[in-house]
């Protein structure tokens, strides 16, 4: 999968809200419009399905939004990890991210 992101140098309200996280959770790529949470969800689901490490490559020029994109992905993964923990399924996503 490939996602291009633009840094508009301004925040768009609601684009990265908890509601949007819920909307993209457990959905397949292409079911909803392109979004960084779709990429994060795909990596998260593959992690659990395949039991193998996953990688998301974020590249771009200085000021392109790489750091912000990384923060959005980590936020999504953190929310998914919390969700699994609350359902009684052991989660090591937070630990894996920190390694």
- Is the pLDDT higher at 34 or at 98? 34
pTM: 0.80
Supply 66's token pair.
């790489």
Distances (CA, A) of 87 to 1, 12, 83, 91: 29, 32, 7, 10
Interval 2-54: pLDDT, tens:
777 777 778 889 999 999 999 999 999 999 999 999 999 999 999 889 988 88
CA distance 91 to 72: 19
Terminus-to-terminus CA distance in the chain, angstroms? 24
Predicted local confidence at residue 26, as pLDDT: 93
């Amino acid at each position: 999968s490939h996602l291009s992101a633009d840094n508009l140098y301004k925040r768009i309200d609601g684009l990265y809200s908890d509601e949007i996280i819920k909307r993209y959770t457990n959905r397949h790529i292409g079911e909803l419009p392109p979004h960084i949470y779709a990429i994060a969800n795909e990596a998260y689901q593959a992690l659990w399905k395949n039991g193998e490490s996953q990688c998301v490559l974020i590249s771009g020029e200085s000021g392109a939004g790489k750091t912000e994109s990384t923060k959005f992905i980590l936020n999504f993964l953190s929310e998914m990890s919390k969700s699994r923990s609350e359902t009684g399924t052991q989660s090591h996503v937070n630990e894996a991210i920190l390694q």
